[in-house]
Amino acid sequence: MHALKPSLPHHPIAPGGSPPGGGGGRTRTLRRGPVRRRGWLAPTLVALLVGGCADGVDDADTVEALEPFEDEAIVVKSSLDAHQRLGRFSVIRAAASSRGMTNAYLLAGIAITETELAQCWSEAQWACQGPNSPDCGGGPVIAGASDGPCHHREGGLGLFQFDAGTHAQTLNRYGNGILTVDGQIGAAIDYVVNMVKISAYTTNAETDAKARAWLNAFDVNDPVLRDQWIKTVLRYYNGCQPGWRCWAPRYETYSNGMWTALDEPGGLAFWGPPAGPDGVVPEAPPPAAPPPQPSAGTRCGDSPLVVGAIEERYLRIGGCDSPLGAPVSEELAAPDGVGRVSRFDNGVIYWTPETGAFEVYGQILEKWREHGAETGILGYPIKGETAAPGGDGRYSVFERGSIYWTPTLGAHEVHGMIRDKWKEMGWEAGDLGYPISDEYAVPEGRRSDFEGGSITWHRASATCTVDLANGPGWKVLDIDFQIQQTGYWCGPAATHNALSARRAAPSQQQLANELPTTRNGTDWIGQITGVLNHHLDGNPYLTTEMPNDPPTPAQRDRLWMDIVTSIDNNYPVVANIVAPAHNHPPGYPNYTIYHYFTVIGYNADTAEVFIADSANFGGNTLYWLSFDQLATLIPPKGYSAFRP
């Protein structure tokens, strides 16, 4: 168990070392200062490391009553405007309600004090950048900055500042769910329930059920309960102790945060009434749902109920006999606090006031989720799945793009100006045919490939060009590139970089455990093949060894074919290399290097491959390498590649 750690900077300095700019948003001043080493407060408490003020120790059962030195001011600022803050309050309310918690302003008060409701780095650019999140449009979450320079990738993550050490260690402990607002709120509720249960200040809350009832029955107008809550937050959440000089100023700060969270969106009329003494809510707050419908709802057997506009759409496409199957959830709030969703055996129906209700299912649903679902680049569905004219394809339309599927090509998204150009060319019935790739990065901008060619968006001119000559002679995959986090984690880093082309990849720490990787490295390329297949459907990767040095012509041909086939099907190749001093990729030190890196692209015209190299030798991370050199680097080792 880690001890509470500081996760926000003592001075709000933006990346690059300059003070944060002005503009809109909210600012809150919190007093805190450095402290001497001390242990955590209870060995059973979940290690939610938020806004603390102590370094970690190994003995989680020890509490040393050490007072912090003189507090120093920290300004916590976000750029959220009033409308965005109301949306964030709505998300917190909906997520808490779906988990049976009322009085969600107690959570919101903590979030205001810690990050001024910021989840994404774009909302608080004075902080460090954490891992990417679909809730941030694919950009980074906010990360705490007081554990060292931002490139150390340490500090708390997101709205409630989870922190278990490095970012990878935090995600390994809490899971990738905390990269979303909904996941942050869910984990924070678990933590708050536990701290109320173990608190020395609360009464009749000694079990999880009683602690939840205590929270739901909380009466903000009761000064005794208010005092119990703020003291509980101070001691078990922030880490400040009675008698320390931080106690009085932080008591005021967290109290102010609670009142701001309650009053700003409209008081109890917004958050809903508290529960009774038994924890039962007498009257639920008004849900952000479609207008009431005359129907009493639809069930399939004893399934959950489908109601309102979502029920209307469900019945229109066949109800219980539709491709969606039976309902598996009641209607829920979407993570952004705007829409509503009902889940079924084989898909979902989403509704918003602007778009109406539409279904998404099958491989199109999988592709939509891969790109962040309603919070991603495509947005909410605006047209249900439909058969494409004159063929066996199907498609769904979203606010900002489309996903097309055929039995042979699978599902691929098209959006933005590339989609506009494809429309000009006649959609799938034109010369280009169906998409065969998602949009991906190229040096000049972005590109999508189709059966009959490609469309490239050029960054410099903001225009699109069409190549009908059977597509480009080269391709580079879009990945979530990471530099290896230790000197011997090239295997986990290469595996992460490869998986990220297909899905949200696990942390390097998790992959190091799965491979397994020791301080001596990762023994064999076959271990990487096994872990890649573990995280992907269909066991798509095979290990190919190249024992001959130099390789035979047949081995060279097989390697090139495997690279092209893998990249064309959006699967990176992981290569195990031996690079002696006389045969180095760019930037390598002058001795033999045993290493793993990831091949994420090829150029058939120049016979080159594009390398994602986690070692970062001389700052070389993404670079072109001749195929001839790659073929001499792999023997006598091997590589993992897609093999259809």
Q: Which residues pair with 598 in a beta bridge?
A: 574, 612
Range 68-80 average pLDDT: 55
Q: Which residues pair with 441 in a beta bridge?
A: 446
pLDDT class for 600, splitting at 50, 70, 90? very high
Range 539-551 average pLDDT: 94
State residue 65's pLDDT score: 35
Range 147-169 average pLDDT: 80
Range 597-621 average pLDDT: 93
Question: Residue 373: which residues within 8 A CB-CB, separation 6 or more?
Answer: 134
Least confident of 385-389, 471-475, 478-482, 605-609: 471-475
Q: Does the pLDDT at position 9 exceed 60?
A: no
State residue 382's pLDDT score: 96
376: its two tokens: 């991603």
Range 366-377 average pLDDT: 93
Least confident of 155-169, 366-380, 606-620: 155-169
The domains found in the chain, sorted by start residue, are 26-271 (no CATH), 287-407 (no CATH), 490-642 (3.90.70.10)
State residue 63's pLDDT score: 31
Per-residue pLDDT of 444-476, as tens digits, reads: 899 999 888 889 999 998 989 888 755 557 788
DSSP 302: T
CB 426 within 8 A of CB 420: no
Type of residue at 390: G
State residue 157's pLDDT score: 87
CB 396 within 8 A of CB 385: yes
Least confident of 245-254, 320-329, 519-528, 623-632: 245-254
Rounded to an integer, what distance in angstroms lies between the CA atom of residue 89 and that of residue 108?
A: 7
329: its two tokens: 């959830």
With helix as H, strand as E and coil as C, how does 257-289 read?
HHHHHHHCCCCHHHHCCCCCCCCCCCCCCCCCC
Query: Is the sign of the CA dihedral 382, 383, 389, 391 positive or negative?
Result: positive
Question: Residue 362: which residues within 8 A CB-CB, separation 6 or more?
Answer: 323, 346, 347, 385, 405
Question: Residue 242: which residues within 8 A CB-CB, separation 6 or more?
Answer: 231, 235
Rounded to an integer, what distance in angstroms lies between the CA atom of residue 584 and that of residue 594?
A: 11
The DSSP secondary structure of 198-257, one letter per residue, reads H-SS-SS--SHHHHHHHHHT--TT-HHHHHHHHHHHIIIII---TTSTTHHHHHHHHHHH
- CA 310 from centre of chain: 27
Rounded to an integer, what distance in angstroms lies between the CA atom of residue 626 and that of residue 608?
A: 4
Range 374-397 average pLDDT: 91
State residue 366's pLDDT score: 94
pLDDT > 90 in the chain, percent? 48
Nearest to 255 by CA among 237, 224, 271, 231: 231
Range with the largest mean pLDDT of 20-24, 235-239, 306-310, 450-454: 306-310
How far CA 21 is from CA of 13, 25, 79, 182, in Å, comes to 10, 11, 10, 29
Q: Please give the mean pLDDT across all residues of the chain.
A: 81
Between residues 536 and 47, which one has the greater pLDDT? Answer: 536
Per-residue pLDDT of 424-448, as tens digits, reads: 888 998 888 899 999 998 888 999 9
pLDDT class for 145, splitting at 50, 70, 90? low
DSSP 238: I
State residue 164's pLDDT score: 76
Length of the chain in residues, anyone? 644
> What 3-state class would DSSP assign to 405?
strand
State residue 273's pLDDT score: 53
